[in-house]
């Protein structure tokens, strides 16, 4: 069983989500299907899939105009929330410390956070990939938790770029993440790969050791692109 999660980013409509959910009803799979969609779509009946949000406030309520709390997200019907996505880190200056607070907020409301880590092109070229990944995992995941989290490795330079790391690079990153999680007492935490996943590379990527699923951006928006990814693996 793999976890196949879509990240719709700021795309789609409620009607398009309903169409996707209808299409997923006919997919014969044991894999776990998650769609992380804009807040305005979270109340839609999600059928065989589960819904997630894409960000959450670190606060639980109060004078924070424009923010949405974990409790509100849960109340709307979501089970998951992405925290620390590359685009949040890039455009909203989210640090590992902020991401950890968001993950804590999610957990306290009963949501499963999907915690994203990954290196930029500058960090990769400076030979810092492993250091960034390990500190991302150690600093973005709350300590002493006994609840489920999911980690997503997203090499930031590869997102939306049609680029993917080599099989060896993905294997090395995922082994480091799995080992780091084990040393934190979180052995068995699922680790997803994300960046330029599509139907043609999904099964190869998910056959790499320690890759427990994928987090898909652009190719999760249309059933014709997303369903082949879901059915590419058992």
Binding site for ligand 13P (CB under 6 A): 7, 85, 154, 159-160, 194-197, 215-219
- Are β-strands 112-117 and 191-193 bridged in parallel, bridged antiparallel, or unpaired? unpaired
Which is closer to ligand 13P, CB of 142 or CB of 217?
Answer: 217
- Which residue among 85, 94, 119, 174 is the active-site one? 85
Report d(CA 129, CA 179) in Å as an integer.
15
Smallest distance, ligand 13P to C-beta of residue 76, A: 20
Considering only CA atoms, which of 20, 13, 173 is closest in space to residue 4?
20
Q: Do 23 and 223 contact (CB within 8 A), yes or no?
A: yes
The distance of closest approach from Cβ of residue 193 to ligand 13P in the complex, given in angstroms and rounded to an integer, is: 10
Q: Taking the complex as a whole, how short is the minimal distance between the CB of residue 183 and ligand 13P, in angstroms?
A: 26
Distance, CA of 61 to CA of 78 (rounded, Å):
18
Closest CB to ligand 13P among residues 118, 142? 118
Q: What is the CA radius of gyration of the chain?
A: 16
Q: How far is the CB of 54 from ligand 13P (least distance, A)?
A: 8
Catalytic residue among 139, 154, 169, 204: 154
Q: Which is nearer to ligand 13P, 7 or 31 (CB)?
A: 7
Q: What would the 3-class secondary structure string for 53-77 be?
A: ECCCCCCCCCCCCCCCCHHHHHHHC
- DSSP structure class, residue 158: G
Q: What is the sign, positive or negative, of the torsion defined by CA atoms of 194, 196, 202, 204? A: negative
123 as an active site residue: the answer is no
Nearer to ligand 13P, 194 or 223 (CB): 194
92 is catalytic: no
Q: Measured at CB, which residue is nearest to ligand 13P?
A: 217
Q: Which residues are catalytic?
A: 85, 154
């Amino acid at each position: 069983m793999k976890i196949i999660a879509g990240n719709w980013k700021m795309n789609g409509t409620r009607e398009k989500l309903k169409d996707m959910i209808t299409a997923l009803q006919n997919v014969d799979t044991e894999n776990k299907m998650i769609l992380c969609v804009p807040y305005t779509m979270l109340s839609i009946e999600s059928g065989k899939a589960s819904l997630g949000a894409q960000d959450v406030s670190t606060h639980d309520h109060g004078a924070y105009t424009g923010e949405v709390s974990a409790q509100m997200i849960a109340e709307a019907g979501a089970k998951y929330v992405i925290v620390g996505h590359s685009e949040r880190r890039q455009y909203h200056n989210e640090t590992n410390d902020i991401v950890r607070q968001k993950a804590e907020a999610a957990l306290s409301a009963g949501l499963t956070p999907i915690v994203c880590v990954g290196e930029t092109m500058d960090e990769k070229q400076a030979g810092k990939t492993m250091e960034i990944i390990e500190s991302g995992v150690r600093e973005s995941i709350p300590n002493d938790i006994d609840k489920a989290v999911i980690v997503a490795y997203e090499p930031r330079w590869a997102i939306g770029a049609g680029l993917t790391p080599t099989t060896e690079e993905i294997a090395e990153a995922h082994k480091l993440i799995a080992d780091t999680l084990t040393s934190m007492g979180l052995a068995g935490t699922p680790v997803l790969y994300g960046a330029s996943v599509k139907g043609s590379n999904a099964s190869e990527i998910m056959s790499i050791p320690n890759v427990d699923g994928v987090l898909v951006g652009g190719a999760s928006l249309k059933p014709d692109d997303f369903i082949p990814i879901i059915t590419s693996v058992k």
